[in-house]
Amino acid sequence: MEEYKAKEIQVLEDIEAVRMRPAMYIGDTDKRGLHHLVFEVVDNSIDEAMVGFCNRIDVIIHKDESITVKDNGRGIPIDEHPIEKRPAVEVVMTTLHAGGKFNHKAYKVSGGLHGVGVSVVNALADWLEVEITREHKVYHQRYEIGKPVTSLKIINELSELDDGTTVSFHPDPQVFQQIRFSFDILSERIRELAFLNPGILLTILDERTEKKHEFTYKGGIVEFINFLNSDKTVLHPPIYFHQEKEGIDVEVALQYTDTYTENIFAYANSINTKEGGTHLAGFKSGITKAITSYAKEHNLTKEIEIVGDDTREGLTAVVAVKIADPQFEGQTKTKLGNPEAKGVVESLSTTYFSAYYEQNPTDAEKAIKKILSASKSRIAAQKARDLTRKKELFERSPLPGKLADCSEDNPDIAELYIVEGDSAGGSAKQGRDRKFQAILPIKGKILNVEKATEEKILSSEEIKAIMKAIGIGEENIRYKKIIIMTDADIDGSHIRTLLLTLFYRRAKELVESGYIYVAQPPLYKIKHKKKIIYAHLEADMNEKIKGLDPQPEIQLFKGLGEMNPDELFFTTMDPQTRLLKQITLEDAVEADKTFTILMGEKVEPRRQFIEENAKYVENLDV
Are 548 and 561 found together in one domain? no
Query: Where a domain ends, among 330, 348, 377?
Result: 377
Look at residue 314 and give its three-state secondary structure: coil
pLDDT in tens, 386-421: 776 666 555 544 577 789 999 999 999 999 999 988
**One domain for residues 179 and 301:** no
Residue 610: per-residue pLDDT? 76
Would 550 be classed as within a structural domain? yes
- Lowest-pLDDT range, 241-245, 442-446, 526-530? 526-530
Claim to verify: residue 206 and residue 76 sit in the same structural domain? yes
Asked if residue 581 is part of any domain, the answer here is yes
Collapsed DSSP state (helix, strand, coil) of residue 15: helix
Burial of 412 (0-12, 13-18, 19+ CB in 10 A): exposed
Type and span of the H or E element at 149: none
Owning domain of residue 61: 14-215
Are 129 and 250 members of one domain?
no
> Could you tell me the pLDDT band of residue 115, with boundaries at 50, 70 and 90?
very low
SS3 for 516? Answer: strand
Q: Which residues are catalytic?
A: 420, 487, 489, 491
Q: Which of 153, 185, 215 is the last residue of a domain?
A: 215
Mean pLDDT, residues 59-79 taken together: 95
Host H or E run for residue 280: helix 278-297
Give the ranges where 517-564 is alpha helix by DSSP (H).
Answer: 538-544
Q: Band of the pLDDT at 109, cuts 50, 70, 90?
A: low
Domain harbouring 176, CATH code: 3.30.565.10
d(Cα 421, Cα 219) in Å, to the nearest integer? 49
Say if 394 falls within a structural domain.
no
Q: What is the mean pLDDT of residues 274-301?
A: 91
CATH number at residue 359: 3.30.230.10
Among 382, 110, 378, 348, smallest CA distance to 251 is for 348
Please check whether residues 452 and 501 belong to one and the same domain.
Answer: yes
Last residue of a domain, one of 194, 215, 236: 215
344: left (phi over 0), alpha (psi -120 to 50) or beta: alpha
Closest to 438 (Cα-Cα) out of 450, 425, 449? 425
**Looking at residue 142, what DSSP letter applies?**
E
pLDDT in tens, 476-520: 899 999 999 998 777 888 899 999 999 999 899 999 899 999 998
Same domain, 171 and 257: no
Is residue 408 one of the residues assigned to a domain? no
- When the pLDDT of each residue in the chain is averaged and rounded to a whole number, the result is 87
Residue 478's domain is classified under what CATH number? 3.40.50.670
Structural domain includes residue 387: no
Check whether residue 175 and residue 235 sit in a common domain. no
Query: Do 312 and 442 belong to one domain?
Result: no
Q: Is residue 283 part of a domain?
A: yes
User: So what's the pLDDT on residue 201?
Assistant: 97
Distance linking the first and last C-alpha atoms of the chain = 71
Do both 122 and 208 map to the same domain?
yes
Shared domain for 470 and 509, answered yes or no, is: yes
Alpha-carbon distances, residue 404 vs 157, 472, 562, 574 (angstroms): 72, 18, 21, 17
What's the pLDDT at 398? 59
Residue 404 within any structural domain of the chain: no
Residue 588 pLDDT grade (very low, low, confident, very high; cuts 50, 70, 90): confident
Q: Specify the number of domains making up the chain.
A: 4
Same-domain status, 448 and 312: no
Q: Is residue 396 part of a domain?
A: no
Q: Are residues 128 and 267 in the same domain?
A: no
